[in-house]
A and B are shown apart, each in its own frame.
Chain A
Amino acid sequence: MKRIYVKEEWCLGCHLCEYNCAFANSGMTDMVKALRGKEIYPRIQVETDENGVTYAVSCRHCTDPICVKSCIAGALSKKDGVIEIDHSKCVGCLTCVLVCPYGAVVEDGTGVAQKCELCMTNSHGTPQCVKGCPNGAIVFEERGEAE
């Protein structure tokens, strides 16, 4: 399946992906209206390593997702390879945050969990972090599945 991968050699650390993510999942049509004057809670996080190398981390859509197994509300599931949260079922226990080994499930600012769903569940249908990355550092493509 197509997943998001990062090419850290091209990541500029501009953090646009975080803003594009926050906007894409805001449900709004205007970025200013969606984000101005607000703290953002993106589902993708730009990290910086000790050498100043930056890269964005988002859900890996693991082949054996511990978050799905751990969800106490049955709100997380894998559909066609995409791990999704059923927000109507999520009660905000944050167990998924506690178990995700990559720190890719995060709290959304209102107390419940959120994670990258490859923009399949919002109005975009294609990952906006990838689309908006000015330097091709985030790609959405097919790579070899793990054994």
Chain B
Amino acid sequence: MNFYPEFEVVRNDSRCIRCRVCERQCANEVHWFDADGKVMLSDESKCVNCQRCVTLCPTRALKIVKSDCRLRENANYSDQTIKEIYRQAETGGVLLSSMGNPNPLPVYWDKILINASQVTNPPIDPLREPMETRVFLGKKPDHITRNPDGSLDTTLSPQLSLSMPVMFSAMSYGSISYNAHASLARAATELGICYNTGEGGLHEDFYKYGKNTIVQVASGRFGVHKDYLEAGAAIEIKMGQGAKPGIGGHLPGTKAVGDVAKTRMIPEGSDAISPAPHHDIYSIEDLRQLVYSLKEATEYRLPVIVKVAAVHNIAAIASGIARSGADIIAIDGFRGGTGAAPTRIRDNVGIPIELALAAVDQRLRDEGIRNNVSIICGGSVRSAADVVKAIALGADACYIATAACLAMGCHLCRSCHTGKCNWGIATQRPDLVKRLNPDIGSQRLVNLMTAWRHEIKELMGGMGINSIESLRGNRLMLRGVGLTEKELQILGISHAGE
């Protein structure tokens, strides 16, 4: 069944200079030059609205607009719903999507407001006073111990030191390009934070960024070997992902090319399928064994992170993880992005990160084990304000990936699964990979994080706080707007005006 295209290419011919940049830059082959008529033509059915052509058109002769050709209006059966049914009726297949859940479900970040000092205590000007954002992630001891001479015994279980409480979340080499990884690794190193390998192994070129690398061990165990584990600053066991809780991963063979396959330690061209569960973890006690085997393998030098998707019972799950020996828990909310996920799962499974985070932090405090673990919050942290809110709700740090991709050029066309990312991020096609120059990519990431750090400092200064640790769990600095009693209760915050 043919549909009218979702997008229309609007070309202002009076501005078009026939430079053909759009044609050369569209991996979807939407544009072409008709030499006879000396005009640019387009096949809109191929357009994914990635905006590459729009961005590069030197005369702003192009725009991509949403087609207004609509099926008959129906509040229940939306266009999208109907078309998905058609598509499935045609293919018999599971629908695939990329990036995070785009549906209009509540974004709690936007219903939480931040405090500022007035009169009774002073705001602090970050331009004049030191404003600290350094955090240490890892287990904190219950009791200090002293050496025989009475001095403090300063040995600690491994800590992950970050210059600011934001890290780049897991995106595998394979799901994203070599240059995207290079950008993330270089930016993380320059910023003094970490990026995360995801389940794709670590390309040999990037071992040098190890101090700023979190190496991930996921259910497929792709790319995991001793050197890999030892290369990073921390090891992350991925139990789940916010975009697709309860299922594994699938890198199509077409992306498992060359170094991607080599880095994953799989035959070139073979599908890399990560199972839904870790087949050695069927319960919490199994997790504990994996945590400790990884610690053993790396001589207890590295903190171990356990990453889980935010699901209904997240507080209890987190409590279990906190007692499993893990040093850090990463919770990934339902809006987290992905390179490919079944649409139904992405859009219907999991819970909002804000509620999950609040519930976990409170549960761990109630149980007196909040110090056993640090908490990383991920799954659509979009701005410095989201970071500040997350920290105030109780997170030690945040993971960002979609925002990082945006910094590298992503325009959220949500077509990663096609492998034809025009921005050189979610692709392995050499001509496309080339489009992301890590000099630029890393600089833009550094810029973004630098900007966020400034904003975090401004927000903290406004609250009269000059160190991030005094913000952590400081829910008094938050107020809700338009939230129900129940939501406020779970978030542990008061309503604005209270």
Using CB atoms and an 8 Å cutoff, list the residues of chain A in contact with chain B. 7, 9-10, 12-16, 18-20, 23, 31-32, 35-37, 52, 132, 134-137
B18-26, B188-196, B305-313, B381-389: which lies at the A interface?
Answer: B18-26
Q: A13-B24, A15-B24 are in contact. Are A20 and B439 (CB under 8 A)?
A: no
B9-17, B82-90, B249-257, B329-337: which lies at the A interface?
Answer: B9-17
Q: Is the CB of B16 within 8 A of A136?
A: no
- For the complex, give the distance between the alpha carbons of A102 and B232 in Å: 47
Given A16-B56, A36-B17, A36-B59, 4 more A-B residue pairs with CB atoms under 8 Å apart are A20-B58, A134-B55, A135-B434, A136-B440
Interfacial residues of chain B within 83-112, with CB under 8 A of chain A in the complex:
none
- For the complex, give the distance between the alpha carbons of A55 and B19 in Å: 17
Q: Is the CB of A132 within 8 A of B19?
A: no
Q: Which residues of A contact B133 (CB under 8 A)?
A: none
Q: A20-B58, A31-B59, A136-B439 are in contact. Are A15 and B19 (CB under 8 A)?
A: yes
Q: Which residues of B contact A136 (CB under 8 A)?
A: 437, 439-440
Q: Is the CB of A36 within 8 A of B24?
A: no
**B429 in the interface, Cβ–Cβ < 8 Å?**
no
- For the complex, give the distance between the alpha carbons of A19 and B56 in Å: 12
- For the complex, give the distance between the alpha carbons of A31 and B16 in Å: 10
**B435 in the interface, Cβ–Cβ < 8 Å?**
yes
Q: Which residues of A contact B440 (CB under 8 A)?
A: 135-136
Using CB atoms and an 8 Å cutoff, list the residues of chain B in contact with chain A. 14-21, 24-25, 55-56, 58-59, 61, 431, 434-437, 439-440
| Among candidates B14, B18, B21, B61, residue contacting A16 with C-beta atoms closer than 8 Å | B21
A31 to chain B, nearest CB (A): 5
| Among candidates A12, A20, A36, A132, residue contacting B434 with C-beta atoms closer than 8 Å | A12
Q: Is the CB of A10 within 8 A of B434?
A: yes
A43 to chain B, nearest CB (A): 16
Q: Which residues of A contact B20 (CB under 8 A)?
A: 15
Q: Is the CB of B15 within 8 A of A12?
A: no
Q: Which residues of B contact A14 (CB under 8 A)?
A: 21, 24-25, 56
Pairs of residues from A and B, 7 with the lowest C-beta to C-beta distance, nearest first: A35-B17, A10-B437, A136-B437, A19-B19, A135-B437, A36-B17, A32-B15
